[in-house]
A and B are shown apart, each in its own frame.
Chain A
Amino acid sequence: MVEVDLDTGHVTPLRHIAVDDCGRVLNPMIVEGQQHGGAAQGIAQALWEQVVYDAEGTLLSATLADYAMPSAADLCSFEVANTETPTPLNPLGVKGIGESATVGSTPAVQNAVVDALSHLGVRHLDLPCTPQRVWRAIRDAESGTLADPWREPPPVFATLPVRGAAPAPEAEGADI
Chain B
Amino acid sequence: MAGSLIGTQVRRVEDRLRGASTYVGNLQVDGLLQLAFVRSPLAHATITRIDAGAALAAPGVVSVYTAHDLRIPRHHTFVRVNDTCLRPPLAEGKVRFAGDAVAVVVAETVAAAADAVELVDIDYEPLPAVTDPEAALADGAPLQFEELGSNLAAGARDPDDVDPLAGADVVVRARMENQRVAVVPMEGNAITVVPGGEDDEHQLTVHVSTQMPHLLRNDAARLFELDPQRLRVVSPHVGGGFGGKAGLAPEHSVAIAAARVLDRPVSWVETRSENMTAMHGRAQIHYAELGLRHDGTMVGLRIRVVGDSDAYAGFGGALAMGPTRVMAQGVYRVPALSFAAAAALTNTAPVGAFRGAGRPEAAAMLERIMDMGAMALEIDPAEIRRRNFIRPDQFPFTTEVGTSYDSGDYALALDEALRLGGYDELRAEQARRREAGERRVLGIGLCSYVEITGGGGGGEFGAVTVHADGTATARVGTSAHGQGHATSFAMLVADSLGIDVGSVHFVQSDTAVIPTGGGTGGSRSLQLGGNAVRAAADEVLERARELAASLLEADVDDIVAADGRVGVGGVPGRSFG
Q: Which residues of A line the B interface, CB within 8 A?
A: 1-7, 14-15, 17-22, 24-30, 33-34, 38, 41-42, 44-45, 49-51, 53-59, 61-64, 67, 69, 79, 81, 83, 85-92, 94-100, 102-119, 123-124, 126-128, 149-151, 153-154, 156-157, 160-166, 168-176
Give bound CA distance, A55 to B272, whole Å: 24
> Contact: B483 with A59, CB < 8 Å?
no
Mask: chain B, 76-98; 1 = CB below 8 Å from A; 0 = not: 00111110000000000000011
> Contact: A85 with B409, CB < 8 Å?
yes
> Contact: A157 with B524, CB < 8 Å?
no
Contact pick for A116, options B272, B319, B443, B484, CB 8 Å? B443
Closest partner residue, chain B, to A115 (CB atom) = B443
> Contact: A171 with B318, CB < 8 Å?
yes
Chain B residues within an 8 Å CB radius of A165? 156
Chain A residues within an 8 Å CB radius of B412? 83
A80 CB to closest chain B CB (Å) equals 9
Q: Is B122 in contact with chain A by the CB < 8 A criterion? A: no
Mask: chain B, 422-456; 1 = CB below 8 Å from A; 0 = not: 00001000100010000111111111110101111
> Contact: A18 with B445, CB < 8 Å?
no
> Contact: A111 with B156, CB < 8 Å?
no
Which stretch, B51-59, B226-234, B362-370, B558-566, touches the partner chain A?
Answer: B362-370
Closest partner residue, chain A, to B11 (CB atom) = A29
> Contact: A103 with B359, CB < 8 Å?
yes
> Contact: B527 with A104, CB < 8 Å?
no
Give bound CA distance, A102 to B156, whole Å: 27
Closest partner residue, chain A, to B363 (CB atom) = A103
Contact pick for A166, options B156, B356, B488, CB 8 Å? B156
Known A30-B484, A171-B321, A172-B322: A103·B445 in contact at CB below 8 Å: no
Give bound CA distance, A86 to B356, whole Å: 21
Q: Is B535 in contact with chain A by the CB < 8 A criterion? A: yes
Contact pick for B443, options A4, A153, A164, CB 8 Å? A4
Known A91-B531, A107-B363: A5·B439 in contact at CB below 8 Å: yes
Known A128-B179, A161-B155: A38·B355 in contact at CB below 8 Å: yes
> Contact: B182 with A17, CB < 8 Å?
no
> Contact: B175 with A153, CB < 8 Å?
yes
Give bound CA distance, A45 to B180, whole Å: 9
Which stretch, B103-111, B129-137, B468-476, B540-548, touches the partner chain A?
Answer: B129-137
Specify which of A24, A27, A34, A63 lies most central, judged by the most chain B CB atoms within 10 Å of its CB: A27
Known A83-B412, A114-B443: A17·B406 in contact at CB below 8 Å: no
Chain A residues within an 8 Å CB radius of B498? none
Q: Is B196 in contact with chain A by the CB < 8 A criterion? A: no
Contact pick for B447, options A44, A108, A128, CB 8 Å? A108
**Could you write out 26 A-B pairs with CB less than 8 Å apart?**
A4-B440, A27-B10, A41-B242, A51-B180, A51-B280, A53-B348, A56-B129, A57-B129, A57-B130, A64-B276, A67-B184, A87-B406, A92-B527, A103-B449, A107-B364, A108-B445, A109-B445, A111-B367, A111-B445, A111-B446, A163-B158, A171-B80, A171-B315, A172-B318, A174-B78, A175-B457
Give bound CA distance, A95 to B484, whole Å: 16
Closest partner residue, chain A, to B76 (CB atom) = A170
Chain A residues within an 8 Å CB radius of B430? 116
Mask: chain B, 484-500; 1 = CB below 8 Å from A; 0 = not: 10011001100000000
Q: From DSSP, what is the main secondary structure of chain A's interface residues?
A: loop
Between A and B, how many residue pairs show CB distances below 8 Å?
381
Closest partner residue, chain A, to B44 (CB atom) = A57
> Contact: A96 with B179, CB < 8 Å?
no
Interface residues in B298-320 by Cβ distance below 8 A to A read 304, 306, 315, 317-319
Give bound CA distance, A154 to B6, whole Å: 52
Chain B residues within an 8 Å CB radius of A89? 406
> Contact: A91 with B181, CB < 8 Å?
no
Interface residues in B40-63 by Cβ distance below 8 A to A read 42-44
Which stretch, B21-29, B113-121, B201-209, B413-421, touches the partner chain A?
Answer: B413-421
Q: Is B239 in contact with chain A by the CB < 8 A criterion? A: no
Specify which of A61, A67, A105, A116 lies most central, judged by the most chain B CB atoms within 10 Å of its CB: A116
Chain A residues within an 8 Å CB radius of B7? 24-28
B49 CB to closest chain A CB (Å) equals 21
Give bound CA distance, A53 to B44, whole Å: 13
Chain A residues within an 8 Å CB radius of B82? 169
B351 CB to closest chain A CB (Å) equals 9
> Contact: B439 with A7, CB < 8 Å?
yes
Contact pick for A94, options B175, B277, B421, B527, CB 8 Å? B527
Q: Is B358 in contact with chain A by the CB < 8 A criterion? A: yes
Specify which of B7, B360, B456 lies most central, judged by the most chain A CB atoms within 10 Å of its CB: B360
Contact pick for B523, options A54, A96, A151, A166, CB 8 Å? A96
Closest partner residue, chain A, to B342 (CB atom) = A156
Interface residues in B260-300 by Cβ distance below 8 A to A read 272-273, 276-277, 280, 282-283, 287
